[in-house]
A and B are shown apart, each in its own frame.
Chain A
Amino acid sequence: QKEVEQDPGPLSVPEGAIVSLNCTYSNSAFQYFMWYRQYSRKGPELLMYTYSSGNKEDGRFTAQVDKSSKYISLFIRDSQPSDSATYLCAMSGPYNFNKFYFGSGTKLNVKP
């Protein structure tokens, strides 16, 4: 069993839709949860960073962490064609904050 599971998609939505992306994980020791956006043939770009459980909002993006269910989500409101990319969840901790475990990524396509 992989430490982090993520539906690979692809997920296709119309412009303006609310997008929900999710990951599950098996290691209850994870404390740091990240969402990265990766455009084709580029490096991952940090979108959201959350410590432990709870919600965090930044503009059109909301990250949720439910440690009791080992489940994290990223919501994108008013999705735009420029949001079309692969979204990677990542998590780490507590003993090595910099060793990340990534999901396989969900490919999102926002249609104009």
Chain B
Amino acid sequence: ETGVTQSPTHLIKTRGQQVTLRCSSQSGHNTVSWYQQALGQGPQFIFQYYREEENGRGNFPPRFSGLQFPNYSSELNVNALELDDSALYLCASSTRTGTSETQYFGPGTRLLVL
């Protein structure tokens, strides 16, 4: 177990709707990253939050947005859902140091857009 939890585990939405996914980081971790993993593909970086500020973004449109809270839990919001948004959404928590580090992934939320 990594100590990173995500909710809900599964979600079904229709095109055009909005969705909020949640992540609880491992204790002591102040950085959270979100990834989208389409079926048969590797995870793609969406964005990262460090101390409640966005700290890097991948090639995703603005309808993907996020929040990080003082307790380092995090949300991913997706507006105007499209069919291609169907994927496994992973959050990963880590610490940010000047040396090597790695991330611990949660189990993911599987989103299906109909």
Contacts and interface: CB of A to CB of B under 8 A. Distances in A.
A104 B41 contact: yes
Interface stretch (B14-22, B69-77, B79-87, B94-102): B94-102
Interface in B26-74: 31, 33, 35, 40-45, 48, 55-56, 58
A51 interface: yes
Contacts of B104: 46
A101 B59 CA distance: 12
Interface stretch (A12-20, A37-45, A55-63, A68-76): A37-45
Q: Which of B4, B43, B55, B92 has the most CB of A within 10 A?
A: B43
Interface residues of A, number: 27
A97 B108 contact: no
B78 interface: no
Given A32-B100, A46-B102, A6 B90 contact: no
A96 B56 contact: yes
B60 to A, nearest CB: 13
Contacts of B35: 100, 102
Nearest to A101: B45
Using C-beta atoms within 8 Å of the partner chain, give the interface range for chain B.
Answer: 20 to 34
B101 A98 contact: yes
B100 A51 contact: yes
Contacts of B45: 99-101
Given A98-B94, A101-B45, A102-B42, A43 B33 contact: no
Contact of A44 (B31, B56, B90): B90
Contact of A43 (B44, B101, B108): B108
Nearest to B42: A102
Interface string A78-94: 00000000001010000
Interface of A: 4, 6, 8, 31-32, 34, 36, 41-46, 49, 51, 88, 90, 96-105
7 contacts: A43-B106, A97-B97, A98-B103, A99-B58, A100-B103, A104-B41, A105-B42
Interface of B: 2, 4, 31, 33, 35, 40-45, 48, 55-56, 58, 88, 90, 92, 94, 96-97, 100-108, 110
